[in-house]
Every structure is written in C-alpha cells, then in structure tokens.
Amino acid sequence: MGLSLTTTTGKVIASLALVGTAAGVAGLGTYGAFTSSTSASNTVASGIVNIALGATGTTNRLSVAASGLVPGDTVQRVATLTNATGNQNLSAITLTTTAAPTSLLDTNTTMGLQVTVDACSVPWTEAGTAPAYTYTCSGTTTSVLASRPVIGANTALANLTSVTAGHTDNLRVTLTLPATADNTLQNQTSTIAFNFTGNQRTATNQ
C-alpha cells in the first residue's frame, strides 16, 4: 500500500514539472513584429429614373371625358411626358392601357376604339370648345404609336426624346371609333387608363 501511494505521488509531481517546462519554452518564442496598413474610401450613389405626366389641365387633358361618340368620331387629348427630374437615360418607354369599367368600346378590337399617339416638337396648339378639343402642331410631328386597338400591355413607344434625362415630349393621344362600328357599340361606356413606364438604360460598368 505504501509503495503504491509513493509511486502515484511521484508521477503527479513529474507531470506538473513537465507542464511548467513547456510553459517556459512557449514564453521564449514571443517576438515583436513590423506592420504597415493603408486604406481608401469610395462613394457610391444610385441614379434616379423618373418620368411624369404634366399636371392635370392644359398640359394633361387625358382626364377630360368624352361622350356621345358615333362611328367615325375622334377624341383628341394632349399630355406632356417629361424626364425632367431623373438623372439617368432610359432604354425605352412603354404604354399600358386598361379599362375599368370596361365595355365593347375596348373589348371589340376591330369595331371598338383605336388609339394613336403623336408627338410635336413644340407644344400643341389647342382649338375647339371643351371637351371637343382639336390640336395642331406648328413644329414637326412624329409618330409615337401607330393606330391599334385601345387596350394593350407594355406597348413600345417610338421617337420619344424623354428617354434622355432632362427632356420632355408633347404628346397628342387620339381615340377613334371606327366608321365600321355597328349597333352593338351603341350606349357603351369605358374608362381608359393610360400608364407610361420608363425602363432604365442598359447596365454598364461604372
């Protein structure tokens, strides 16, 4: 019994001594070091994509209602489309038209309303008595949208200067009830909403 106790105690002491020696060796391996650092900062800001219609009134007649149409009648309304507050060019501008309430005036694609859009290089000259406005261009007229059924989604618009930041287009929207419209188009009512969407320019390396 005595030998067993003595032997165990001796092993414990030897283990503690070994640990102490290892700690001493680790302390001898600590050195100083030279360092160097540098830094830089880079400001990154996102652009602004924005198009807007002119205020309701003389620069935006799209909200002026028309009634009593018969086959062959037209409805002309003007609106300015501007990219004045955006700082980025656009790749395209599209037009989506919807109807609510809806009727045969917009669902009949052959005898129902047809839409065209033109642009004038200067503001359109207005004539006629409300709501029967007519518009002429004293500058250059360009076609933005050729005649098509009034309802459409993401329809591409052409020849718009407002794809460039800081520019404005003077638009004339014409709705036509075709001369071929028959009696099924009588006593119909539709409210047409015009939604213009500007699509950002192609992404590039900045």
Is residue 199 a contact partner of residue 94, using CB atoms and an 8 Å limit? yes
Give CA separation, 79 vs 63, 143, 172, in Å. Answer: 10, 15, 7
For the chain, domain boundaries = 52-200
Statement: residue 27 has pLDDT above 60: no
Per-residue CA distances from 200 to 64, 86, 93, 163, 186 (Å): 30, 11, 9, 9, 42
**How does pLDDT run across 36-56, given as a tens digit for each residue?**
888 888 888 887 788 898 988
pLDDT in tens, 60-69: 999 999 999 9
Residue 11 confidence (pLDDT) above 70: no
Residue 13 has pLDDT above 80, yes or no: no
pLDDT of residue 24 exceeding 70: no
**Do 136 and 78 touch, CB atoms closer than 8 A?**
no
* Average of per-residue pLDDT across 20-49: 72
Distances (CA, A) of 202 to 42, 46, 95: 23, 14, 19
Do 81 and 172 touch, CB atoms closer than 8 A?
no
- Residue 168: pLDDT band with limits 50, 70, 90: very high
Per-residue confidence (pLDDT) for residue 101, from 0 to 100: 94
State pLDDT tens for residues 115-161: 999 999 999 999 999 999 999 999 999 999 999 999 999 999 999 99
Q: Is residue 7 scored above 60 in pLDDT?
A: no
Contact 104, 151 (CB under 8 A): no
1 pLDDT band, cuts 50/70/90, is very low
Q: What is the pLDDT of residues 86-123, one digit of tens each?
A: 788 899 999 999 999 999 999 999 999 999 999 999 99
Structure tokens at 151: 């309802």
**Is the whole model's pTM more than 0.85, yes or no?**
no
Q: What is the mean pLDDT of residues 60-80?
A: 95
Cβ(105)–Cβ(185) below 8 Å:
yes
Helix (H) or strand (E) holding 168: strand 168-176
Mean pLDDT of 168-179: 96
Q: How confident is the model at residue 30 (pLDDT cuts 50, 70, 90)?
A: low
